Amino acid sequence: MVLDEGTLGSRVRDARERSGLKQGEVAQLVGLDRTVVNKIESGTRRVTALELAAIATALGVRMSSFFEEPTPALVSHRSHQGLDVADSRIDRILADAAADTEFLMTLAPGELDGSSWQSRSPAEPLERPDSGAASEDLARRARSVLGLDEVEPIDDLVARFSEIGLLVFAVDLGPDTADAGTILLRQGGVSLVNSHNKIGRRRLAAAHELGHYLVADEYTIDWRVFDHNTDIEARLDRFARALLLPSPGMAAEWSRLSAHHELRETVVLLGSHFRVDMATLARRLQELGHISADEAAFVRRVTTTQADIVDFGLRVPADLAGTTVPIPFQKAVLHAFRNEQISRERALELLRGTFADDDLPAPRTRREDEIWNFVA
């Protein structure tokens, strides 16, 4: 693909801005003058292949990404530190995951081509919720789309969401960054969840991103200057709680457990059943009128102990722990690798360290005539 200098320069600029580096910092890393970097970005100076490779290394992106069509725009970020917290790292990792997904879609039809998603996903984006009641209704519709009834917990969010085209990756981004982000693709979408957070918050963040995906929330490439509608964030938080803690299921479990246990034991069992943290559970119980404000404050202070896990035989979920790569994406990588469309090194890179070299299939044994045809 041949690019003009202006297009190539703008892609370099976008990648630099996502990396959070200034032109002078990039220039220092690659051994160029800042004015040269400025001219490259403005398209008034040609960039050599060696310079472009050095710039890609400095920005932490693949050089080939400068020659690919940009991925669709960023949909959302979810940050516990507020919307003014700039975070270029999650942008970059999320953009890479989206670009890799679209790349694999071209190589592995049947794994990521969306044919199975389209049979289950809504034909059109669902309506954005404009009230608490609308958020509850959106959660009911989402559970129906996911094939869930109104009482059961969601055991494996990554697998469930993959079935309707939202591929959820997880990476430990540390404590000072956004909880999650989402990009809508031409088919399906990609979310990235910060696995540094505890399990309950990771699951809540993933559920929140599902809301953005289902309503195809308005998007922006540069979320730091986006006039974000904080109302939709609050309503999608309500949606996430209702999705993970459905009202009928909560009522049934609350009635069953509270009849035989005191409040602390009840919420420990309830939180384990629905795989949520105590802060989310307290908010939901109060939202549904099961407990008072004082009781909600008590529930937030409850900690599930090792003794609880043993005494009650609780399951300890591990959703979105460490680095998580959704199964359809893994299958697409293996498909492309087996068909010799990507190298072993590229396959391991796409799998983001979740596979060791020995985990990949052994190379195919070549027939003698294949070798002869190659050298002839």
* Sign of the alpha-carbon torsion through 167, 170, 173, 177: positive
Tokens 């398209």 -> residue = 43
The beta-carbon contacts of 55-64 under 8 Å, at least 24 apart in sequence, are 55/12, 55/26, 55/30, 56/15, 57/30, 58/21, 58/26, 58/29, 58/30, 59/15, 59/16, 59/18, 59/19, 59/21, 59/26, 60/19, 60/92, 61/15, 61/19, 61/92, 61/96, 62/96
pLDDT of res. 374:
57
* Top-confidence residue, 312 or 86: 312
How buried is residue 219: exposed, middle or buried, by Cβ count under 10 Å (0-12/13-18/19+)?
middle
Residue of 107, 75, 256 lying closest to 180 (CA atoms): 75
- High-pLDDT (> 90) share of the chain, %: 49
- Residues 108-125 have a mean pLDDT of 75
* Confidence bin at 226 (pLDDT 50/70/90): very low
Residue 8 has pLDDT above 90, yes or no: no
- Residues 181-190 have a mean pLDDT of 86
Give tens-digit pLDDT for 288-310.
999 999 999 999 999 999 999 99
- Residues 345-360 have a mean pLDDT of 94
For residue 179, how many C-alpha atoms fall within 13 Å in the half-sphere facing its CB?
A: 21
pLDDT of res. 81:
44
- Residue 54 CA to residue 38 CA, distance in Å, equals 15
pLDDT of res. 79:
44
Three-state DSSP class for residue 190: strand
Q: Among 68-77, 169-178, 268-277, which range has the highest average pLDDT?
A: 268-277
Residue of 16, 112, 22, 107 lying closest to 65 (CA atoms): 16
Give tens-digit pLDDT for 90-112.
777 888 898 899 889 888 877 77
* Confidence bin at 363 (pLDDT 50/70/90): confident
Q: What is the pTM of this model?
A: 0.76
pLDDT of res. 14:
80
- Residue 113 CA to residue 328 CA, distance in Å, equals 10
- Residues 5-20 have a mean pLDDT of 82
- Residue 162 CA to residue 181 CA, distance in Å, equals 16
Q: Are 191 and 182 in contact (CB under 8 A)?
A: yes
Give tens-digit pLDDT for 33-60.
989 999 999 888 888 888 888 888 888 7
**Pairing mode, strands 166-171 and 189-194:** parallel
* Torsion region of 252: left, alpha or beta (phi above 0 gives left; psi -120 to 50 gives alpha): alpha
pLDDT of res. 84:
39
pLDDT of res. 78:
47
